[in-house]
Structure 1
């Protein structure tokens, strides 16, 4: 078996996107402690939160990219499903159970063990929804590969069609379902954030980039001078989009106004993902001559345990919330403390994940068990799913 190259640009994106996830969820902790929601600090944090709403889409892009690189010509789907579900299902079950037990022990809210089955079905606690989406994607991925083979000579058209479908979906969600009573709908349809189909474009885009790496790279190098400032402008534009268009023109609720499933966010997310992929390639070139630099090591280490950081983030966020609650700070003081709080969440989440990664037998908690059954043959190590 030919050894696949290690993609350091994927490391860069993993590290960047997991920090983006923690940034958004850290902001939530700060805004929840601000007593007056009409004050400037509250609206400032709510406004900038939308800038980081590309993270989950970025992870779906990377999942599509890495899986397509590995499985485009390798179609042992029973083995694929066994391997992928072993890496995601068990952490999903364990962390939901452990965190629910912790909430019950801390007497946080009205949590009981009777909730566990519903939590596992819905993925609506402890930010576990992403794992539920990933497990849905694994079921659909063989079909996605089949589509790429079926349209092998027209794969760019497949991406365009996927984009148009995505645009139709987010337009329907934003404008068509606005004000519609979905309380009697099946959960998978009304809670569309856990529905894998609302992320399909990012997976397809990742698959296309994996199969057309060189022409995509050449194109990104040509347009980078235009792409980067456009992406920055779109990112800053989310503040105006949220505060003016969504809240003042459309009069949307804060939660609806912040939804990542909007036409504007589709354009912004796509631009941000392509920009991060291009920057990741620049990082890979830089790393080739600065392998021992502390930044290169830090990015690699964060990427290595990014899945573990996602799983344990609730612990770091609980610690942050407890610490902030002891201060009695005003909204303005909380606003200025955000960078320090974010750094603390990243450090604690990384520390916990790194401990599990390095100390047996705790690796199983982050999908990286240190103990393996003996195998008859040694297989070449290949790229792993980006969700680990």
Structure 2
């Protein structure tokens, strides 16, 4: 497989991260709406339909790695050194940054006590439980297993379709267990190791195995799959619209018929999110391919520059946006208490989304340009060396 830059993946990263910000800002509005009111249900349905983000990100993570290494040689130690340098440093830096931030923002919660701080830091390193660092925690688990998965897909190339279907079915079963079985099992009835896995199941790679394996298999046959998708865009759009309608119907059915809580009805780890997230990911890939074909046209240059910047900054946006959302929530709480027009209050919803997304992007881009500090947002850089002028230029 020829190694090349997949510009359609840049497009996907930018849009998926925008969806992430939409979910988190909309969640703030959801918590402020009265239960089962039309606004509450509208926000809940919107959040549910945007809950494909972690799966899509994991899919393209697997896809890009397999496009890079499939069919070639992999030096395991070099791979681990490169990958863990770019994800391990941000992981540790942002754990401490979040702990410090909580100490500043919530001074009455004793986050500054050294025993509590050290305990929080160690616990967070071992579990990835600070804000959205679970994604980095799971990604590092994938990096550890990647050489083995790569070897397996190379060895069993003839059985990729079987592996894909088997992994998909396993994912459905795992999600069914997460939603319907685990909540009814007392934690103290499980062996200690299994109890910990169950407790931190959303930080455990097995919970997401299909997205990495599926991304790898798509990468192994990428050109054929991309060509097939391009030939069936109308079908993809039709399935996408039907999938959104089915998901919304499922959400309302869970609340009004089965009496589930809003959090349970919209949870990420449930069976329906597997086919839905796969359909969304394919649709985003279609959009990305269409954009990649137009990206060099003069009329598309502003969009191209924005998408490239947003894609490069996406990792930093994920890490920065939790802090901005805390302040957005504070402002919204103040506005709600002070009693402005309801239309003004809810009209700020898209403004808040754009503010968090764009401000996080600018900060991420700025940090990525500072030597060494750039590692905090997953971008490699070195201090520029001064170059002495040559004799010819004097």
Write the distance in 1 (CA, Å) between the matches of 2:120 and 2:11. 37
Does 2:182 align with 1:177? Answer: yes
Counterpart secondary structure, 1:216: helix
Does 2:174 align with 1:161? Answer: no
Counterpart secondary structure, 1:131: helix
Write the distance in 2 (CA, Å) between the matches of 1:147 and 1:247. 42
Any residues of structure 2 matched to 1:336-347 within 5 Å, and which? 336-347=347-358
Counterpart secondary structure, 1:263: coil
Counterpart secondary structure, 2:316: helix
**1:7 to 1:108, Cα distance in 2 relative to 1, 3 A:** farther
CA contact (8 A) 1:45 1:335 kept: no
CA contact (8 A) 1:41 1:332 kept: no
Out of 252-261 and 134-143, give the one that drifted further: 252-261
Write the distance in 2 (CA, Å) between the matches of 1:217 and 1:370. 33
Q: Give the equivalent residue in structure 1 for 2:86.
A: 87
Give structure 2 stretches of 5+ with no counterpart.
112-116, 386-394
Q: Give the equivalent residue in structure 2 for 1:96.
A: 95
Q: Give the equivalent residue in structure 2 for 1:214.
A: 223
TM-score, scaled relative to structure 2: 0.88
**1:111 to 1:84, Cα distance in 2 relative to 1, 3 A:** farther
Where do 4+ consecutive residues of structure 1 move more than 6 Å? none
Q: Deviations over 1:338-357 (max 9, x none)?
A: 11110111111111101101
1:123 Cα offset (Å) = 1.5
**1:109 to 1:347, Cα distance in 2 relative to 1, 3 A:** farther
Q: Give the equivalent residue in structure 2 for 1:13.
A: 12
**1:49 to 1:33, Cα distance in 2 relative to 1, 3 A:** same
CA contact (8 A) 2:98 2:130 kept: no
**Superposition RMSD on alpha carbons, in Å?**
2.2
- For the pair shown, the structure with the greater C-alpha radius of gyration is 2
**1:225 to 1:61, Cα distance in 2 relative to 1, 3 A:** same
Write the distance in 1 (CA, Å) between the matches of 2:289 and 2:26. 29
CA contact (8 A) 1:22 1:346 kept: yes
Write the distance in 2 (CA, Å) between the matches of 1:64 and 1:98. 28
1:152 Cα offset (Å) = 1.4
Write the distance in 2 (CA, Å) between the matches of 1:127 and 1:109. 23
Out of 117-126 and 182-191, give the one that drifted further: 182-191
Q: Give the equivalent residue in structure 1 for 2:249.
A: 240
Out of 312-321 and 249-258, give the one that drifted further: 249-258
1:361 Cα offset (Å) = 4.4
Q: Give the equivalent residue in structure 2 for 1:271.
A: 279
CA contact (8 A) 2:255 2:261 kept: yes
Number of aligned pairs? 371
1:333 Cα offset (Å) = 4.7
Q: Give the equivalent residue in structure 2 for 1:225.
A: 234
Structure whose residues are more often helix by fraction: 2
